[in-house]
Amino acid sequence: MPPQHGQHQNTGQPQHDPNAMDVDRNQTQRPPLKCFKCNGLGHMAKDCQRQLDVRGMTYDQMAEYFEEIKAAAKDHEELTKKKDFLNAAQ
């Protein structure tokens, strides 16, 4: 019986096309989505829910804004620690 199309003559195994693209391989190597509106990860600009739009900012303005955000988060963390300490002391 002659081999069917796509099978080796002796083994009956399907042939592997050397020119075929391995589309599944690239799925795990793709970095997370990055929003070009707020510079956040995990979403695209069209789905961004923040009011901030870094596209109109200069580099210095962006750096200053993100420093302020970091400082506010640090202040909030310190306040939370103080409240927890005061509640534990009572």
Measuring CA to CA, which residue among 31, 52, 51, 53 is closest to residue 42? 31
Give the pLDDT confidence of 10-69 residue by residue, as tens digits: 565 666 777 776 666 655 677 889 988 888 899 998 888 888 787 888 989 988 988 998
Coil, helix or strand at residue 75: helix
Q: Answer yes or no: are the C-beta atoms of 45 and 37 closer than 8 Å.
A: yes
Locate the domains of the chain by residue range: 26-55, 57-90
